[in-house]
Amino acid sequence: MNSALKVLRKYYGYENFRGDQNNVIESILSGRDTMAIMPTGGGKSICYQIPALLFKGITIVISPLISLMKDQVDSIKDLGIGAAYINSSISQSEILNICSDLKNGDIKILYVAPERLESTDFCHLIKSMQVSQVAVDEAHCVSQWGHDFRVSYTYIWKFIDDFSKRPVVTAFTATATEEVRVDIVNQIKLNNPAVFISGFDRKNLKISCLKVGNRFQHMLNYIKTNGEQSGIIYAATRKEVDSLYEKLKANNISAGRYHAGLSSVDREKNQEDFVYDRINVIVATNAFGMGIDKSNVRFVIHYNIPKNIESYYQEIGRAGRDGETSECILMFAPQDIITQKYLIETSIQSPERRINEYKKLQYMVDFVHYNGCLRKYILNYFGEHVDYEECGNCSNCIRKGEYVDKTVDSQKVLSCIYRMKREFGVNMIVDVLRGSSQKKVLQYGFDKISTYGIMKNYSKSQLSNFINTLIAQGYISLKEGEYPMVILNSQSVKILKGEEKVVLKEPAKAEKIITNSDLFEILRSCRREIADEESIPPYLIFADTTLRELSSRYPVTSEQMLDISGVGELKLKKYGNRFLKIIREYVEKNKIQPSWFFKGDLQKNHEGKSNKLKTFEITINMIKDNMSIEEISRKRELTVSTVVSHITKYLEEGEKFNLNVKFDNLFTIDEENKVLKVIEKLGLSKLKPIKESLPDNISYDKIKAIILKDCILDN
Ligand code: ADP
Ligand code: MG
Ligand code: ZN
């Protein structure tokens, strides 16, 4: 086994490298400058931390944010790795302590704020040590093209240039654009760097775009349904943040807020409450997020349209860093485009840049109206080739929600607008359609037009929701101005003439992103207790993924616990006993046979199974604990087919428990459709002819999984 992998397993407790991690690390270890571009949550930190441990001297990590730095250092110290940070919050005497630790070799990784590089004292100090690597995290901050430009990043090259023996220089970012990449190489003066660019897809993020009339109500339902989960709500302006915050509080939601109008003390406190799981949701402007490494953010809601795809993707990227299923919901209302245009007009001086921003905003608006796969749209925007038509995990690919023909009701609304002759806001139209006898309505003589009172069957809020939905869908336009006025457009004309139908999808009911089992909840409160005792955020102790694995595999010995992803040697030593005790009690009480869940023990326990779980029941338990088929097959070292056969057996035994089977990325919607079509023709009796009528890349595993899915839907 190579030494990097050993470190990964021993310290981090992870079984294998992800994506490019191994290649990046090898490149760094060979002494070559290296730049890695990986999506948020891709695991960039490990790429410079493992070489830092294997190199002789120290590694300096340049990182832009103080809050980020503290959490990062806490998290590696918690793994048993010597680390420290220096920024403006650290006193001179502490700095001296750190320096002596550096000299003694007690500290392998030193995080510094870029401003430090401007201090000659500091540079002098550093130059007297053996530095083997300078790692620049969030390297896009060096680029004026990026969104987080920092002047002090432009001094990095000088800092490196002054070493008598040049260290290996490495740079990391999630920003994908070509301009930024080129800037990083030039500005930091990377020396013939090896460049690694990973795919940007974040498969665990479900991407939804909703055009609902009543956004707040929808959001509230969603948050209530997902009560115990962490989420971020982005809004376009401070005013909107404040108003949403108040409304959520009034509805008893545990919420905080964050925007540049709050004092820095309040901002810091609210951010910390969120990171430490003291509040569930935070309502924020786009000022919030950099410096949030919290790995268990389960949803990100955009209450307003963001200014461009870059910001949008970065913001939704804050969900699901731990790789768990997470959801991103964009709620669209056309008024928001007007807000964004206003922000461009008032905040950008240069005419060229303004045009550029308008262009980017248009891509964002097109995204909202796009009918194809939303994930594919985004990846294509970043220049990434995608070889599927449907991802199966965005609101356009998931065929949930009922379609209803609303053509006649739409025609009523449109013809009313037409007959009112002048321009009005939504409320006035609602009043006329509902036959209100308000003074203004009568004054204009609207009680005389033929559409007066023809939609009394709608309540006031239902009707205004309906009209807002028509606006969101583009069947009516809004005219910009102090008060948005409703006007007809070419789309409206087609509807009025009966040339096109209005078919609306009723938005699917708010659903739970993920269900926590009771053991998960017990372990989670234990994690919180420890976090309080140690004053570090809970996710740093164990990620949600680790808790989930603990709660579905039931390790009861230290050895078994080490087999859980995210449990390294030090964490086992520090926290193992507390968690093991809980699991042992749980296993005892619920008569679970834990050793079934670990390799090697499987065969041993095959005999004498009378009062133990049958192998297929273990699979079912894991399904109930929310693990996907792929995960189960990996954890239990069974083929996908076997796992599928377990579920089938369970169903055949007549169990009617509502199984929520996660098929994840086992097959695409496209493949599913193909298989279903063939089955319709050939029937289900034999698999071989089905396989032979399909393209080669559709394996037996896939076919079996698709059949299972179809069968579950039928149940
Ligand atoms: P980035 O900086 O690229 O956004 P991080 O370095 O913060 O991502 O890593 C995100 C999460 O993924 C962390 O919780 C980290 O521990 C986890 N992680 C990183 N590498 C692996 C791996 N090889 N296996 C499992 N989890 C990993
Ligand atoms: Mg990072
Ligand atoms: Zn899709």
| pLDDT band with cut points at 50, 70 and 90 for residue 160 | very high
- What does the pLDDT read at residue 715? 55
The tokens 């090896």 sit on which residue? 194
Dist. CA 655–CA 672, nearest whole Å: 25
Q: Residue 512 has which token pair? A: 């739970």
Same domain membership, residue 116 and residue 145: yes
Q: For residue 279, what is the domain's CATH number?
A: 3.40.50.300
pLDDT digits (tens, 9 = 90+) for 305-317: 999 998 999 899 9
Dist. CA 173–CA 255, nearest whole Å: 30
Cα angle 210, 227, 469; round to 5: 20
Give the ligand with the smallest distance to the CA of 378. 3
Same domain membership, residue 534 and residue 407: no
Same domain membership, residue 547 and residue 444: no
Q: Which of 279, 265, 268, 197 is nearest to 233 (CA)?
A: 279
- Close Cβ partners of 701 (under 8 Å, ≥ 6 residues apart): 639, 640, 641, 644, 666
pLDDT digits (tens, 9 = 90+) for 544-595: 999 998 988 889 999 989 989 899 999 999 999 999 999 999 988 888 776 6
| pLDDT band with cut points at 50, 70 and 90 for residue 244 | very high
Domain boundary among 565, 590, 615: 590
- What does the pLDDT read at residue 599? 58
Helix and strand totals (H; E) in the chain? 32, 17
Same domain membership, residue 462 and residue 340: no
Average pLDDT over residues 611-638: 78
Same domain membership, residue 446 and residue 463: yes
**Number of domain units in the chain:** 5
**Residue closest by Cα to atom 2 of ligand 1:** 44
Site to probe by mutation for ligand 1, drawn from 20, 47, 81, 293 as the one with most ligand atoms within 8 Å of Cβ, is 293
Q: For residue 576, what is the domain's CATH number?
A: 1.10.150.80
Dist. CA 511–CA 226, nearest whole Å: 8
- What does the pLDDT read at residue 611? 40
Site to probe by mutation for ligand 1, drawn from 45, 140, 326, 563 as the one with most ligand atoms within 8 Å of Cβ, is 45
- What does the pLDDT read at residue 347? 87
Dist. CA 680–CA 488, nearest whole Å: 45
**Residue closest by Cα to atom 25 of ligand 1:** 14
In this structure, which residues have their CB less than 5 angstroms from ion ligand 3? 373, 375, 391, 394, 397
The tokens 């006025």 sit on which residue? 485
Dist. CA 219–CA 233, nearest whole Å: 9
State in Å: Cα 663 to ligand 3 middle.
Answer: 15
Q: For residue 456, what is the domain's CATH number?
A: 1.10.10.10
DSSP state of 289: B
Query: Is pLDDT at 216 greater than 80 in this prediction?
Result: yes
Query: Is pLDDT at 234 greater than 90 in this prediction?
Result: yes
Same domain membership, residue 324 and residue 437: no
- What does the pLDDT read at residue 297? 96
Greater confidence (664 vs 397) lies with 397
CA-18 nearest atom, ligand 1: 23
Dist. CA 184–CA 179, nearest whole Å: 9
Dist. CA 327–CA 216, nearest whole Å: 17
Q: Identify the top-confidence range among 20-34, 101-115, 277-291, 600-614.
A: 20-34
CB 44 within 8 A of CB 137: yes
- What does the pLDDT read at residue 191? 96
Same domain membership, residue 417 and residue 276: no
C-alpha torsion angle, residues 147, 148, 149, 150 (rounded to 10): 170
Same domain membership, residue 226 and residue 171: no
Give the ligand with the smallest distance to the CA of 43. 1
**Parallel, antiparallel, or unpaired: how do β-strands 485-487 and 477-479 relate?**
antiparallel
Percent over 70 (pLDDT), the chain? 94
- Asked whether residue 386 is domain-assigned, the answer is no
Greater confidence (456 vs 64) lies with 456
Supply the pTM of this predicted model: 0.75
Q: Identify the top-confidence range among 35-49, 93-107, 213-227, 237-251.
A: 237-251
State in Å: Cα 46 to ligand 2 middle.
Answer: 9
Q: Residue 498 has which token pair? A: 């009966």
Q: Which of 12, 11, 54, 8 is nearest to 31 (CA)?
A: 54
State in Å: Cα 253 to ligand 1 middle.
Answer: 30
**Residue closest by Cα to atom 9 of ligand 1:** 43
Q: Which of 405, 400, 408 is nearest to 503 (CA)?
A: 405
The tokens 């404040």 sit on which residue? 242
CA-8 nearest atom, ligand 1: 23
- What does the pLDDT read at residue 602? 44
State in Å: Cα 650 to ligand 2 middle.
Answer: 43
Q: Which of 265, 258, 220 is nearest to 241 (CA)?
A: 258
Whole-number average pLDDT of the chain: 88
Same domain membership, residue 153 and residue 28: yes
- What does the pLDDT read at residue 58? 95
Site to probe by mutation for ligand 1, drawn from 18, 48, 76, 570 as the one with most ligand atoms within 8 Å of Cβ, is 18
Dist. CA 411–CA 172, nearest whole Å: 54
Give the ligand with the smallest distance to the CA of 47. 1
State in Å: Cα 456 to ligand 3 middle.
Answer: 38
Q: Which segment of 197-201, 270-274, 498-502, 711-715 scores lowest on mean pLDDT?
A: 711-715
State in Å: Cα 668 to ligand 3 middle.
Answer: 9
Query: Is pLDDT at 148 greater than 80 in this prediction?
Result: no
Q: For residue 692, what is the domain's CATH number?
A: 1.10.10
**Residue closest by Cα to atom 12 of ligand 1:** 43
Domain boundary among 372, 393, 421: 372
Give the ligand with the smallest distance to the CA of 61. 2
- Asked whether residue 149 is domain-assigned, the answer is yes
- What does the pLDDT read at residue 199? 83
Query: Is pLDDT at 652 greater than 80 in this prediction?
Result: no
State in Å: Cα 38 to ligand 3 middle.
Answer: 21
State in Å: Cα 392 to ligand 3 middle.
Answer: 5
Pocket residues: Cβ below 6 A from ligand 1: 14, 17-18, 21, 38, 40-46, 293, 295, 321-322, 543
State in Å: Cα 171 to ligand 1 middle.
Answer: 16
Q: Residue 423 has which token pair? A: 């321009």
- What does the pLDDT read at residue 206? 95
CA-323 nearest atom, ligand 1: 12
Radius of gyration of the chain (CA): 28
State in Å: Cα 96 to ligand 3 middle.
Answer: 54
Dist. CA 451–CA 435, nearest whole Å: 9
- What does the pLDDT read at residue 613? 62
Query: Is pLDDT at 617 greater than 70 in this prediction?
Result: yes
Same domain membership, residue 532 and residue 426: no
3-state secondary structure 122-188: HHHHHHCCCEEEEEECCHHHHCCCCCCCCHHHHHHHHHHHCCCCCCEEEEEECCCCHHHHHHHHHHH
- Asked whether residue 645 is domain-assigned, the answer is yes
Average pLDDT over residues 346-356: 87
- Asked whether residue 178 is domain-assigned, the answer is yes
CB 620 within 8 A of CB 646: yes
> Which helix H or strand E contains 488, and what residues bound it?
none
- Asked whether residue 389 is domain-assigned, the answer is no
Same domain membership, residue 225 and residue 185: no
> Which helix H or strand E contains 242, and what residues bound it?
helix 238-250
- What does the pLDDT read at residue 218? 92
Query: Is pLDDT at 609 greater than 50 in this prediction?
Result: no
- Asked whether residue 394 is domain-assigned, the answer is no
CB 142 within 8 A of CB 136: yes
- What does the pLDDT read at residue 169? 98
- Asked whether residue 388 is domain-assigned, the answer is no
Same domain membership, residue 153 and residue 20: yes
Give the ligand with the smallest distance to the CA of 198. 1
Dist. CA 300–CA 230, nearest whole Å: 9
Got the DSSP string for 404-467? EE-HHHHHHHHHHHHHH-S-B-HHHHHHHHTT---HHHHHTTGGGSTTTTTTTTS-HHHHHHHH
CA-75 nearest atom, ligand 1: 16
Site to probe by mutation for ligand 1, drawn from 5, 7, 35, 46 as the one with most ligand atoms within 8 Å of Cβ, is 46
- Asked whether residue 378 is domain-assigned, the answer is no
CA-539 nearest atom, ligand 1: 14
Domain boundary among 590, 615, 639: 590
- Domain housing 472: 403-505
Query: Is pLDDT at 657 greater than 70 in this prediction?
Result: no
pLDDT digits (tens, 9 = 90+) for 448-463: 999 999 999 998 888 9
CB-neighbour burial class of residue 608 (10 A; exposed 0-12, middle 13-18, buried 19+): exposed
State in Å: Cα 137 to ligand 2 middle.
Answer: 7
Average pLDDT over residues 413-421: 95
For CA atoms 257, 260, 261, 267, the dihedral sign is positive
pLDDT digits (tens, 9 = 90+) for 664-685: 778 888 888 889 888 888 887 7
Dist. CA 285–CA 619, nearest whole Å: 43
Dist. CA 281–CA 267, nearest whole Å: 14
Query: Is pLDDT at 607 greater than 70 in this prediction?
Result: no
